[in-house]
Amino acid sequence: DTEVTQTPKHLVMGMTNKKSLKCEQHMGHRAMYWYKQKAKKPPELMFVYSYEKLSINESVPSRFSPECPNSSLLNLHLHALQPEDSALYLCASSQDFSRDTQYFGPGTRLTVL
């Protein structure tokens, strides 16, 4: 089973709201990723967690705050977002942070008003 789940599927929020995106996998993977994808563009890496520790932060603005509570869960906390942050947010996981296949979740479509 190569399933990564994400909730919610869709999220509409105002610029003053605080919300969270959730990602879960039960494949025993030890690396988890957050990507952002704008329309007609490839996914852009935001964060990487390896063994529950933040390994990579691709200079993402502080209004995005990742959290890895345990090896199966990954959250992305959102605060004071801008309309240009509207995008598809994708979570992925892989066995570990080496050369290993990444499996993507279905994504959360975020709209910031």
Partner 1 sequence: QKEVEQNSGPLSVPEGAIASLNCTYSDRGSQSFFWYRQYSGKSPELIMFIYSNGDKEDGRFTAQLNKASQYVSLLIRDSQPSDSATYLCAVTRAAGNKLTFGGGTRVLVKP
Contacts with partner 1, residue ranges (CB under 8 A): 2, 31, 41-43, 45, 48, 56, 88, 90, 94, 96-107, 109
Chain-centroid distance of CA 19 in Å reads 13
Residue 83: phi, psi to the nearest 5? -55, -30
Nearer to partner 1 by C-beta: 17 or 102? 102
In angstroms, give the least distance from the CB of 80 to partner 1. 26
Nearer to partner 1 by C-beta: 92 or 112? 92
